[in-house]
Amino acid sequence: MTNLVGRSPAEIESLVAPHCDRPFRSRQVAHWIIHRDATTFDEMTDLPAELRRRLQGLFEIADPSLVDAAASADGARKFLFALDDGASVEGVAMPEARKLTLCLSSQAGCALGCRFCVTGVLGPGRNLRPQEIVGQYRAMLRAVGGDAERVNIVFMGMGEPLLNTDHLGAALDVLCERVSPKRITVSTAGIVPGIRWLAARTRRPKLAVSLNAPDQQRRAEIMPISRRYPLDALMREVRSFPLERGRRVTFEYVLIQGFNDATADASLLVELLAGIPSKVNVIPLNEDPDLLPGWRAPEPEAVDAFGRALAEAGLTVTVRWSRGRDVAAACGQLKGRRLRDASDAPTPAGPT
């Protein structure tokens, strides 16, 4: 049965129009699915009952199945979704006073193998389809009772978004029907052709780059993708990325004790980002003693000193202690916890 989730208004209208008695009915169906997050045709009360029954027998409106959820003391909620083929992905909802941030996954796993990331340790998985990406948004919005008018979306969950550009692009087209592109952020580990693809989009979301080291040698040590797309090539592409007025590139920098957290590293980072309208998210490592043995977050004083050094050099800095730490809300941690519970998790090596 054809799933209508993750399809553009034009696609939905084209699919259902042959089965509708009047042309405007197909537009109503598209509006219900995209703008009102309908999960059944029975909810579409402005459609005739007979038409609803007919469509129910021809199409489905299906989101990923929620199989696990955990609520943090800080308000963050983590969700684990099951996909049709047995794969699973994670999403996180982070409510704040005036907004709700939804963190979406783009792949069921990740092949990049970043050494500080639980998803990278768990290994590769397939690209998510548009309905699986958009379905995370729909399911979390329903679960937390969020208002779409105040939602921010970040592609900072499982997977590398810019290795799934075909399906990501289709999902972005649908999401942008509800959420302004200026409230959507796509984070990448540094896929240079993917950044170029993102720059060419008409409705362009914001760009975030997971940097995590101020030089090529150390970046390649913890992020193998940097060997394929070296830091200098990545920074050239970022410098050419078109920025609308008021926009900045976000750089994510995971702080790892004794590896990249010295004030001298902060000085190198300042040099690297010189001239780029930017914001730096300093993120103390989310520790996982089972899947990331030996890796530690710096002490709070070292984190503050690093952030202060960036700020004093003129950079806009946010020190982001990851939310939901008590419910394994970092990327891949809830899935990793379930694997551990099943005695199925790998035992990777720690830092050298």
Per-residue model confidence as pLDDT tens digits over 253-304: 999 999 999 999 999 999 999 999 999 999 999 888 877 788 899 999 999 9
Which DSSP state fits 128? P
- Among 157, 7, 183, which residue's Cα sits nearest to residue 80? 157
Name the E strands within the chain.
2-3, 59-60, 65-71, 77-82, 88-95, 100-103, 151-155, 184-188, 206-210, 249-255, 278-284, 316-319
Q: Which residues contact 245 (CB under 8 A, 6 or more apart)?
A: none
CA distance 287 to 272: 27
66 neighbors 81 (Cβ within 8 angstroms): yes
Per-residue model confidence as pLDDT tens digits over 207-222: 999 999 999 999 999 9
* Per-residue tokens: 195: 């950044």
**Amino acid identity at 77:** R
Residues of CATH 3.20.20.70 domain(s) within the chain?
A: 65-341
The DSSP line for 94-122 is EE-SS-EEEE--SBSS-SS--TT-HHHHH
* Per-residue tokens: 204: 């362009």
- The CATH H-level superfamily of 65-341 is Aldolase class I (3.20.20.70)
Per-residue model confidence as pLDDT tens digits over 202-255: 999 999 999 999 999 999 999 999 999 999 999 999 999 999 999 999 999 999
Q: What is the pLDDT of residue 321?
A: 65
Catalytic residue among 110, 117, 176, 331: 331
pLDDT at 45 over 50: yes
pLDDT at 344 over 80: no
pTM for this model (two decimals): 0.88
CA distance 294 to 337: 18
**Better-scored residue on pLDDT, 334 or 137:** 137
Catalytic residue among 90, 237, 252, 287: 90
* Per-residue tokens: 243: 């920025």
**Fold classified for 2-60:** DNA polymerase; domain 1 (1.10.150)
The DSSP line for 167-186 is HHHHHHHHHTTTS-GGGEEE
Q: For the residues 50-78, what does the mean pLDDT come to?
A: 93
Strands, sheet with 151-155, edge to edge from the N-terminal-most edge strand: 65-71, 77-82, 88-95, 100-103, 151-155, 184-188, 206-210, 249-255, 278-284, 316-319
* Per-residue tokens: 238: 């970022």
Q: What is the mean pLDDT of the chain?
A: 90
Residue 90 a catalytic site member: yes
pLDDT at 191 over 80: yes
Q: What is the pLDDT of residue 334?
A: 44
